[in-house]
Structure 1
Amino acid sequence: MGFSPLSLSQFLSSILFLFHFYTTISSSNYSSSSHFCAPDQSLSLLQFKESFSITSSASGRCQHPKTESWKEGTDCCSWDGVTCELETGQVTALDLACSMLYGTLHSNSTLFSLHHFQKLDLSDNDFQSSHISSRFGQFSNLTHLNLNFSGFAGQVPSEISQLSKLVSLDLSGNYYPSLEPISFDKLVRNLTQLRELDLSRVNMSMVAPNSLMNLSSSLSSLLLYSCLALWGCGLKGKFPGNIFLLPNLQVLDLTYNDDLTGSFPSSNVSNSLRLLGLAHTRISVYLENDFFINLKLLEVLALRECIIIRSNLTLIGYLTQLTRLDLAGNHFNGQIPSSLKNLVQLQILYLDNCNFSGRIPDFLGNLTLLENLGLSSNQLVGTIPSQISTRSLTLFNLGNNDLHGPIPSSIFKQENLEALVLASNSKLTGEISSSICKLKFLRLLDLSNNSLSGFIPQCLGNFSNSLSILNLGMNNLQGTIFSTFSKGNNLGYLNLNGNELEGKIPSSIINCTMLEILDLGNNKIEDTFPYFLEMLPELHVLVLKSNKLQGFVNGPIANNSFSKLRIFDISSNNLSGPLPTGYFNSLEAMMVSDQNSFYMMARNYSWYAYSIKVTWKGFDIEFARIQSALRILDFSNNNFIGEISKVIGKLKALQQLNLSHNSLTGHIQSSLEMLTYLESLDLSSNLLTGRIPVQLADLTFLGVLNLSHNHLEGAIPIGKQFNTFNASSFEGNLGLCGFPMPKECNSDEAPPSQPSNFHDGDDSKFFEEGFGWKAVAIGYGCGFVFGVTMGYVVFRTRKPAWFLKVVEDLWNLKARRTKKNARSRRNGARRN
């Protein structure tokens, strides 16, 4: 049926009227809504705002102080982050993500008087270890709750399970809040509409994995991962296989649940999976036909250090949608599969420590979107292909391979490169091109343990304030240290150990206010002691050993000098004057041990561990990772004179003290008994006199002792640790007698048989009654096994003969005891 001209005109007029009416009403509604906020809602929000301060450090991922737009007398529905219901003016959504809020979120907060929330986002703020209040459970209309990275701690309240309308719940990235089994059971049973669940870094160690079977069948995202092993969810036991089969599952990440077992099914798996993270779990995976065929939509596959039963990487080219592939830490053998060339969407590729051999394939250069490339710790040979470099690269790690030849100049044309690691390649030669200073975003540069020669580009000292890690150690570099360090730089780690560097230590290094590790050892630096290094407020490790430093070391020139130093090594120089005992009063970090030891890692790259090379228990050792608990003071092989001050007893956390090969005089201080963590003590080749303090026998961790070549006299203490030392610890002291020396003591020279830490008579009696010889013997045995085990696990050494020496010493000790007993029997037979 058609329209007549009149009816059409009337129709259009009617449409225009209705449109005008609608826009008027809409405008009126918008106007009224923009000026209609329930007074109680506005007041509650303002009171909530006043309970927090705005601090830039409270938000790390982004910064948007939304509450600054909240002003009294204005409509709260127009405030930043606030959404209202148009008709009533009730606040239905609050988005305060990245708002830099700093303070405690109490249970009586006015936030909980706003009962109409449907969405609440408090992510990326700092609520100072506040507990997640049980009052969150009263938001009965809530569909989205996001509390991630907001500094919450304590138990997750069971009242969260009352939020039956929740579609998305994110409690990740906080200070290890815990979930009790009962609370978790309620949560998975009651939240039947849940589609997104993120409990990463929530402690679920008490939760049985089979509880996960009750999760909603509509679940599309389950995140129980962490970025570090210490922050995992702690799930233990068998992961329920039915989770892998959920029809809507797109995202599953269980990374760093090291005790989680199970098996990823080879068939019937949800083919909608986009992300699969099983890294650092014990879940078995079969990388074979069905896996690659069923999961063609995968965009992220993270299987680092998991359990791959069988694999056929020639089929990996089926996963053409992959943007991130992490197979590091699995041993595949053979060459890098050529089928990787089909993965043209790849942005991240980690194949580190996979036992791959052969040359680096040229086709990697065709992956033009590649940003992160890790091929370290394989058996790759040949030169670094220039084609591999793409302008999108930000991380390039080829460390610990068998590559040789020069570094291609194309690498230094990567405009966005942030991390370049070519360390430990037995054969990389040539010079470091000054064009490296064109990399304006470079944060990490590690070219250590190679055969690089020539001069260090002077521009490295000031070319980029973003550079935080610079390791050029163990090469053949010559010339001087770059003379200018720019102000405001971000350098945290500088290692130039083991080169041929000359000249002086530049005073501009005091501009490196973030510097934590400085290792300039084993060079040819000619200078006086660099007092200006005391001004570095964050310095934890200082190694200046084996250079040509000379002159007096007078002690600290400022308050709190070296107060954070954990390792202080100025050995094997030509330093002179009285022993600088003034530093013993300022080395505060050596006075207190770390209760929670950790490895010292790069600030921006949690996978990169700081390393140093020092003398440990008599051997040159490279600490591939530095434990924060490590405390070393090494002033050996210099020309220091004078006595050892008793204030050295303040350094209670010391693990190694080496003052050997100087000209020290006086007695060995009995205050050394205060160094209860001491594992190695070397005072050899000095001019020390007097007796060995019997208190040293109470140092139960002491595994290495060298007092040789002094002028000590009297009886050697017996019992406890002193029974484990052989004659080499005391040789060259003609006045010493008693075991293990061949000279026997007279009766008036005999030491106390069982020295004690306790000076009061009653305490001594308690010690004798409370601790029998069997317990002490067990302690020695455990200590020895622990020491040897930790030495094997933590340290890398180029002289593994240390273990053989320990065995040899023990064998010699046993032999000497046998000879002594035989001699006693012969003497007794003669007397008879």
Structure 2
Amino acid sequence: MGFYLLSLSQFLSSILFLFHFQTTISSSNYSSPSHSCAHDQSLSLLQFKASFSINSSASGYCQHPKTESWKEGTDCCLWDGVTCEMKTGVVTGLNLACSLLYGTLHSNSTLFSLRHLRELDLSDNDFISSHISPQFGQLSNLTHLRLNFSRFAGQVPSEISLLSKLVSLDLSENDNPSLEPISFDKLAQNLTQLRELGLSMVHMSLVAPDSLMNLSSSLSTLILTSCGLQGKFPSSFRKFKHLQHLNLKFNNLTGSIPYEFGQLNELVSIDLCFNAYLRVEPNSFDKIVQNLTKLRELRLGYVNMDLVIPNSLANLSSSLSILALWGCGLQGKFPGDIFLLPNLQVLDLTYNDRLTGSFPSSNASNGLRSLALSSTRISVDLENDFFTNLKLLEVLVLKDSNILRSNLTLIGHLTQLIRLDLACNKLGGQIPSSLKALASNSKLTGEIPSSICKLKFLLVLDLSNNSFGGFVPQCLGNFSNSLSHLNLGMNNLQGTIFSKFPKGNNLVYLNLNGNELEGKIPSSIINCANLEILDLGNNKIEDTFPYFLETLPELHVLVLRSNKLQGFVNGPTTNDPFPKLRIFDISSNNLSGPFPTEYFYSLAALMAYDQNTVYMESIYATSPYSIRVTWKGFETEFEKIQSALGILDFSNNNFTGEIPKLIGKLNGLRQLNLSHNSLRGQIPLSLGKLFNLESLDLSSNLLTGRIPQQLAFITFLAVLNLSHNQLEGAIPSGKQFNTFNASSFEGNLGLCGFPLPKDCNSSKAPTLQPSNFHDGDDLTFFGDGFGWKPVAIGYGCGFVFGVTGGYVVFRARKPAWFLRLVEDKWNLKARRTKKNARRNGVRRN
């Protein structure tokens, strides 16, 4: 899937009704020459205005604060966004789209007193999760109602069905409001004149797909993206003879697209992508391509088409501008005539690995803006004809494709390029000095030319997993403030990191992992205020710990592993360091000194377990972000990063001191690796509080004492390595400890019991008891009490002092002196105890 395809789809969905509203409401300054605005209408509008503030972040697609022109004592029919009836002066149209309105829309709003309204547009504002008021049902003259993209929430009220004159209704892209089956049925039955319906991201999982058949037969536009619809695809669409735009993507529809679909000969666009269990039968598809002569956009990504013969596509309309059939299971020869369609702008056939054919470079549609043939066997020649004919290309995605010949010296003709992916190909030849190729995973060689910095439209630059060598062009840090995604990882790049990151840049992802970069980490990186992922691992960077990175407010991932960082890590230098950091990897460096305990007071993002299963990804790239870390003992490249993933890896350094008990507060940790340091003391009981931990490695330290039995209650713990320490006693038995082998405990001469061959003789392994510590219990969380050694020492000293003192007293016969001595010492101890209690009380607060 190409960037252009995704962005165009989202853009068209967002503005589908915009053109109609522009023609019907845009004459906002029109009023009757003989009649000004009615006083009650003006008053209602001013009160409505007063109930909201103007907030620059309240509108996203556009910004036009229309209510700022609303002034008391002026004719409201001349105000921005207001349309009046010619004779009476009543307000009939209100277009407040993109007006930066911020606040709650209450049911007693004076908006609902404007009973003559026929057209109302409140789209693209921020009503901060206001519920859609039932009072909308009182505006019975409404023909057009747009409440999309304005953060409405709650249930869609059944009173919407009272608006029987509605021609256009759009409630899309809000805060997941829900529509119950009974309310949908009323809406479908009563809105008999409805022609345009947009309910994208309105939760409708309980609405049966067949209920859609009850909608008005006048429908020309139906957009139900991401509504949670589930069940069999509606059996018939025959009644919708006027349907032009149909979008049901990102649902859970099943079954087959009905044969009658081919009778909807007014259809202009079809989007059924991401309905994984939906399929197209050959006879139905043949009917679609033969009869739908007006079709311009056909998107069937991940719809099963494995029985469809590709040659049947040759009958598609010559008006076709977008064809997206990724991951459809197509097999056989793709008809070359499709490439020649004169209006074709977007072609995406990715992930059809049995699709063959040949792309005609010389006479392909020169209007193509996005071409994606990844993971197909369609042959392509990247030579003169290709580059000179397709100068409008913005996206070229040929990852793991069938490139026969290439002459990348000509790629400079693609001046509009936003993204180029030639990954996983076997391209050869000399890399020219003018090369601007952006290719991941293919083994391109040569140097990255500084001329690449002339691509001012570039949003995503990915040169990773190649064999590029030489020095990194210093201009890469500041050649474009638009650049969001920069990946040069897994090459052979030398020199230093580009040092100039300008203020105001848009960089979100920076990956330089797996090169031979030297020098220091540039401090100008703090200008990357939007940076979420920074991976500089596996280089030769010689520096101290870069404290300035603490100030990056959006940083989620920091990987500095396997470099030559040295010196102490003294702890935070700011009040709120790393506020969003969830992956912190400084392993395999030369860092030393006391373990940086202070950081564990401030890693707020790791203190809460995030159950979110989404993956971090660029809105501009079609693939998620990737990083390289050690995961469960193996170096692993995460091709996508789950937003809930929590990793601390301080291994292979020379940190000293004890493991802080406060580490038990980091509930979001999934992996903790402190191995190969010089840590002493006991394993904190508080580690047993990390219930989401999957991997724990404390090996090759100087840890002493017993293994806390609480660790057995970490039910997700799959990897445990406590080897090569100085632990002693019986290994806890039961639960997770039954799953670990001897290698988890080897090199601890004092340990015994399963799974080690050494028997504990008469000392049985301790029976597991339920964990008895609680959140906020300072006695268990911050300290483990006294051991037997200090008690024995105290007992012995007390015995000697008592016998000696008693002998002196009775020999000198001065019991009063002894009593005064003891009394003074007791009073001093009591005063100290009270002071310590007050101090500890303050600390707990």
Q: How does 1:494-643 map to 2 (within 5 A)?
A: 494-605=510-621, 607-643=622-658
User: Once the 2 structures are TM-superposed, how far is the Cα of residue 96 of structure 1 from its aligned partner?
Assistant: 0.8
Q: 1:718 to 1:405 in 2, by over 3 A?
A: farther
Q: How does 1:638-677 map to 2 (within 5 A)?
A: 638-677=653-692
Q: Unaligned stretches of 5+ in structure 2?
A: 1-28, 425-440, 775-845
User: Once the 2 structures are TM-superposed, how far is the Cα of residue 212 of structure 1 from its aligned partner?
Assistant: 1.4
1:72 and 2:86 matched = no
Aligned position for 1:763:
none
TM-score (norm 1): 0.83
**Match for 1:571: what amino acid?**
S
**Match for 1:576: what amino acid?**
S
Q: Helix, strand or coil: the match of 2:236?
A: helix
Aligned position for 2:832:
none
Aligned position for 1:804:
none
Distance 1:638 1:386 in 2: 53
User: Once the 2 structures are TM-superposed, how far is the Cα of residue 716 of structure 1 from its aligned partner?
Assistant: 0.8
Is 185-194 or 264-273 further displaced after alignment? 264-273
Counterpart of 2:740 (choices 725, 742, 746) is 725
Distance 1:304 1:499 in 2: 37
CA contact (8 A) 1:715 1:750 kept: yes
**Match for 2:392: what amino acid?**
S
**Match for 2:83: what amino acid?**
T
Aligned position for 1:773:
none
Distance 1:683 1:379 in 2: 49
CA contact (8 A) 2:31 2:78 kept: no
Is 400-409 or 430-439 further displaced after alignment? 400-409
Aligned position for 1:264:
258
Distance 1:103 1:632 in 2: 39
Q: How does 1:100-249 map to 2 (within 5 A)?
A: 100-225=100-225, 232-244=226-238, 246-249=240-243
User: Once the 2 structures are TM-superposed, how far is the Cα of residue 533 of structure 1 from its aligned partner?
Assistant: 1.2
1:307-330 deviation line (CA, Å, top 9, x unaligned): 225323334343211111111112
Distance 1:43 1:362 in 2: 66
Is 751-760 or 317-326 further displaced after alignment? 751-760
**Match for 1:339: what amino acid?**
D
**Match for 2:756: what amino acid?**
M
CA contact (8 A) 1:730 1:741 kept: yes
1:449-469 deviation line (CA, Å, top 9, x unaligned): 223333322111000000011
Counterpart of 1:293 (choices 290, 293, 309) is 290
**Match for 1:219: what amino acid?**
L
Aligned position for 1:331:
329
User: Once the 2 structures are TM-superposed, how far is the Cα of residue 751 of structure 1 from its aligned partner?
Assistant: 3.9
CA contact (8 A) 1:267 1:294 kept: no
User: Once the 2 structures are TM-superposed, how far is the Cα of residue 667 of structure 1 from its aligned partner?
Assistant: 1.5
Counterpart of 1:311 (choices 289, 308, 318) is 308
Q: Helix, strand or coil: the match of 2:252?
A: coil
User: Once the 2 structures are TM-superposed, how far is the Cα of residue 35 of structure 1 from its aligned partner?
Assistant: 5.5
Q: Helix, strand or coil: the match of 2:754?
A: coil
Counterpart of 1:429 (choices 440, 445, 449) is 445
Q: Unaligned stretches of 5+ in structure 1?
A: 1-28, 226-231, 761-832
Q: 1:339 to 1:149 in 2, by over 3 A?
A: same
Aligned position for 1:21:
none
User: Once the 2 structures are TM-superposed, how far is the Cα of residue 381 of structure 1 from its aligned partner?
Assistant: 6.9
Distance 1:388 1:285 in 2: 33
User: Once the 2 structures are TM-superposed, how far is the Cα of residue 362 of structure 1 from its aligned partner?
Assistant: 4.1
Aligned position for 1:789:
none
Q: How does 1:458-473 map to 2 (within 5 A)?
A: 458-473=474-489
Distance 2:527 2:186 in 1: 56
CA contact (8 A) 2:31 2:86 kept: no
Q: 1:293 to 1:737 in 2, by over 3 A?
A: same
TM-score (norm 2): 0.82
Distance 1:365 1:481 in 2: 43
User: Once the 2 structures are TM-superposed, how far is the Cα of residue 241 of structure 1 from its aligned partner?
Assistant: 3.1
Distance 1:107 1:479 in 2: 64
Q: 1:259 to 1:365 in 2, by over 3 A?
A: same
Q: 1:268 to 1:509 in 2, by over 3 A?
A: closer
Distance 2:358 2:655 in 1: 53
Aligned position for 2:496:
480
Distance 1:252 1:156 in 2: 22
User: Once the 2 structures are TM-superposed, how far is the Cα of residue 375 of structure 1 from its aligned partner?
Assistant: 2.5
CA contact (8 A) 1:412 1:438 kept: no
Distance 1:680 1:744 in 2: 27
CA contact (8 A) 2:463 2:489 kept: yes
**Match for 1:184: what amino acid?**
F
**Match for 2:770: what amino acid?**
S
1:755 and 2:753 matched = no
CA contact (8 A) 1:359 1:382 kept: no
Distance 1:538 1:241 in 2: 48
CA contact (8 A) 1:403 1:427 kept: no
Q: 1:79 to 1:409 in 2, by over 3 A?
A: farther
Distance 1:515 1:751 in 2: 49
Distance 1:298 1:259 in 2: 22
Distance 2:563 2:329 in 1: 42
CA contact (8 A) 1:661 1:685 kept: yes
Aligned position for 1:787:
none
User: Once the 2 structures are TM-superposed, how far is the Cα of residue 31 of structure 1 from its aligned partner?
Assistant: 8.0
Distance 2:417 2:715 in 1: 50
Q: 1:34 to 1:59 in 2, by over 3 A?
A: farther
Is 143-152 or 640-649 further displaced after alignment? 640-649
User: Once the 2 structures are TM-superposed, how far is the Cα of residue 267 of structure 1 from its aligned partner?
Assistant: 6.8
CA contact (8 A) 2:115 2:138 kept: yes
Is 465-474 or 326-335 further displaced after alignment? 326-335
User: Once the 2 structures are TM-superposed, how far is the Cα of residue 74 of structure 1 from its aligned partner?
Assistant: 0.5
CA contact (8 A) 1:737 1:745 kept: yes
User: Once the 2 structures are TM-superposed, how far is the Cα of residue 235 of structure 1 from its aligned partner?
Assistant: 1.1
Q: 1:302 to 1:644 in 2, by over 3 A?
A: same
Aligned position for 1:40:
40
Q: 1:107 to 1:609 in 2, by over 3 A?
A: same
Identity %: 64
Q: 1:358 to 1:215 in 2, by over 3 A?
A: closer
Q: 1:666 to 1:403 in 2, by over 3 A?
A: farther
Aligned position for 1:734:
749
User: Once the 2 structures are TM-superposed, how far is the Cα of residue 142 of structure 1 from its aligned partner?
Assistant: 1.1
CA contact (8 A) 2:359 2:380 kept: no
1:63 and 2:63 matched = yes
Counterpart of 1:703 (choices 718, 723, 727) is 718
Q: Helix, strand or coil: the match of 1:58?
A: coil
User: Once the 2 structures are TM-superposed, how far is the Cα of residue 377 of structure 1 from its aligned partner?
Assistant: 3.6
**Match for 1:653: what amino acid?**
G
Aligned position for 2:318:
320
CA contact (8 A) 1:314 1:339 kept: no
Distance 2:687 2:112 in 1: 58
Is 429-438 or 183-192 further displaced after alignment? 429-438
User: Once the 2 structures are TM-superposed, how far is the Cα of residue 351 of structure 1 from its aligned partner?
Assistant: 1.6
CA contact (8 A) 2:551 2:577 kept: yes
Aligned position for 2:11:
none
Distance 1:314 1:708 in 2: 63
Tell me the matched-pair count: 724
Is 705-714 or 474-483 further displaced after alignment? 474-483
CA contact (8 A) 2:152 2:175 kept: yes
Distance 1:147 1:364 in 2: 48
**Match for 1:688: what amino acid?**
L
**Match for 1:49: what amino acid?**
K
Q: Helix, strand or coil: the match of 1:476?
A: coil
Counterpart of 1:273 (choices 267, 272, 277) is 267
User: Once the 2 structures are TM-superposed, how far is the Cα of residue 526 of structure 1 from its aligned partner?
Assistant: 1.9
Distance 2:296 2:118 in 1: 31
Aligned position for 2:828:
none
